[in-house]
Amino acid sequence: MLFRVKKEAKCFILFYVNEMVKRARLLSLLLFLAVGGFFPTAAGAQGMQQVFDQFMQEIDEVFYSYLDSLDLVFADYLEQEWEEFEVQEAVYPVSYATGYVKAQTEVPYCQSYADPSSTLFYGHRVEVPLVTLPHTRPLKTTEKEIASFWRALYTTDFTPFYAGCMRQVKEMQLNDWGEFLLLHHLVSLYEVKMLPDERTLFTFYLLTHAGIKAKVCMTSDKKMLLLVSFAENIYGYPFIQIEDEKYYVWTPAPTSVKKVFSFTENYPGIIRPLSLLFTQPLRFAVTPVQPHIEDTRSLLATIPINKNLLDFYQTMPLCDLQVYHHLTPSLAFQEEMNKRLLPLLKNKSPYERIELLLELTQQTTRHKKDEEVHGREVYYSPEEFVFYPYADCEDFCLFLYWLIKNYTRADVLFLYYPQHIALAVEKMEGYKGATFQYEDKAYFICDPSYIGSKPGTVVPAYKLIDPIVQAPVKKR
């Protein structure tokens, strides 16, 4: 987790020191035994403890002095003249949304986000002590003024703030993206006290000290923009290339901005690109909403969906599909699915389970392009697939993949065709149709967005086309 980086650095130092102290104590014990107990036991132990405590205090002082020096050095660096960089246009992934079932009505749901004027963060009451910021004159967007603003922030003790953030991250089990949104939400609580450029620089300061690889840049008209580096590819955002790394322009900016001024070096702490991957289910307060499934007799029509999760997922930037391979839904959703599916799957063979899960996926929602539903390309979590009345082929595949992964032991592959995606499942007893080989294993096709299709069949237009085969990414 990003907020642990300073703690981890300190823990590494303390671990090393503790190991040295243990060895010193062991050596002292051996010497004590060798000389027949030369030192008085109680007094010797007390003296050693005092020496150790003093030594640990000195380690603390050295550690925080080192962190302070990083800020001073970086402020001096920010004061130097910035370089010019070209803004690259946003790129977009290949769209696979070819429709096979025509839908008739629009989606009855509006996207919403965390309320920036509230202490609620996706339904969760945020309890983070907001620090008193140093008084600074209105920021003039120059290198010298930016460095002065950084030095002013450096004099502020953010320890309680980051400790509070860490507690919230643990409680909600946030991934990196969630931590990023949490910091943005907390910065918004300072909004009335700061001008836009000051908020951007303040956000940059908090992100770098939380371990996120970020920068800022200036436009020719002296507007400040936030830049963020991601561990995965993201789409739809302009970016600048600094050495071999992309920094995405996160602050909304006019498309007329073609060049900006920034710097090449990163904050000299332990920082890394922001990752979108999910390693555990999110834990948000529950605001239940019902799925928009037309057939009320559907097995999943009455599953309550947490609106706070829907709102959170809608903030995700468009990224590679692999990010969603191991997105784990909430425990409440998994329990509801288990109550409905486990009785049906009981006593069924592995192949019969695949047939049932494929049919369930095809019956849950209908096919429609994301651009027509959301106005943009999106990928669905399992909760979103059940909630929305429409999905495209990527979403059908992600949901069926999650079902197979959770209710069978079969290996699954993703099959990328021109403008279409399907799955392949390892061959098992009971399946009689066509297969293909991949890494010494036989697989058969499952095409969940080809409504009514059975295992072994794909959309006829792609029957004679060899797809690009991709195994799911391994979970971290």
- State the CB neighbour count (10 A cutoff) for residue 269: 17
Residue 17: the pLDDT is 41
Q: Where are the domains of the chain?
A: 2-68, 81-262, 288-470
Longest dimension (CA), the chain: 92
CATH topology of domain 288-470: C8orf32 fold (3.10.620)
Comparing CA positions, the residue from 270, 271, 274, 286 lying closest to residue 175 is: 274
If one compares 48 and 113, the residue with the highest pLDDT of the two is 48
Q: Give the pLDDT confidence of 249-306 residue by residue, as tens digits.
A: 999 888 889 999 999 999 987 789 999 999 999 999 999 999 988 776 688 999 999 9
Judged on CB neighbours under 10 Å (0-12, 13-18, 19+), 199 is buried
If one compares 68 and 244, the residue with the highest pLDDT of the two is 244
Element (H, E) at 228: strand 224-228
If one compares 299 and 447, the residue with the highest pLDDT of the two is 447
The SS3 call for residue 456 is: coil
If one compares 60 and 109, the residue with the highest pLDDT of the two is 60
> Is residue 308 scored above 90 in pLDDT?
yes
The rounded distance, in Å, linking the Cα atoms of 177 and 279 is 12
If one compares 49 and 113, the residue with the highest pLDDT of the two is 49
> Is residue 203 scored above 50 in pLDDT?
yes
Angle at the Cα of 422 from the Cα atoms of 388 and 382, rounded to 5 degrees: 30
> Is residue 471 scored above 80 in pLDDT?
yes
The alpha carbons of the chain give a radius of gyration, in whole angstroms, of: 28
Q: At what angle do helices 143-154 and 196-209 cross, to 10 degrees?
A: 50
Beta strand 412-417 pairing with 390-391:
unpaired
Contact 149, 136 (CB under 8 A): yes
Its pTM surpasses 0.85: no
If one compares 23 and 276, the residue with the highest pLDDT of the two is 276
> Is residue 102 scored above 50 in pLDDT?
no
97-106, 149-158, 159-168, 322-331: range with lowest mean pLDDT: 97-106
Q: What is the 3-state secondary structure (H, E, C) of 116-142?
A: CCCCEECCEECCCCCCCCCCCCCCCCC
113-117, 305-309, 334-338, 430-434: range with lowest mean pLDDT: 113-117
> What type of residue sits at position 267?
Y
Residue 195: the pLDDT is 86
Q: Give the pLDDT confidence of 28-42 residue by residue, as tens digits.
A: 544 445 544 444 555
Residue 52: the pLDDT is 53
58-67, 224-233, 363-372: range with lowest mean pLDDT: 58-67
Q: Measured on CA atoms in the order 205, 207, 212, 217, is the torsion positive or negative?
A: negative
Comparing CA positions, the residue from 209, 203, 193 lying closest to residue 225 is: 203
Comparing CA positions, the residue from 436, 426, 437, 440 lying closest to residue 463 is: 436
Rounded mean pLDDT, 128-146:
84
The rounded distance, in Å, linking the Cα atoms of 390 and 376 is 14
Contact 124, 168 (CB under 8 A): yes
Contact 96, 416 (CB under 8 A): yes
| Structure token digits, residue 423 | 């799955």
The rounded distance, in Å, linking the Cα atoms of 350 and 355 is 9
Phi and psi angles of residue 450, each rounded to the nearest 5 degrees, phi first = -90, 85
**pLDDT-based confidence at 223, cuts 50/70/90?**
very high
Rounded mean pLDDT, 327-351:
97
Residue 189: the pLDDT is 86
340-367: burial string, b at 16+ Cβ within 10 Å, e else = ebeeeeeeeebbebbbbbbebbbbbbbb
Beta bridge partners of 247: 240
Q: Which residues, 6+ apart, have CB-to-CB distance to 191 below 8 Å?
A: 116, 199
Give 3-state DSSP helix, strand, coil % of the chain, rounded to 5.
40, 15, 45
DSSP 251: S
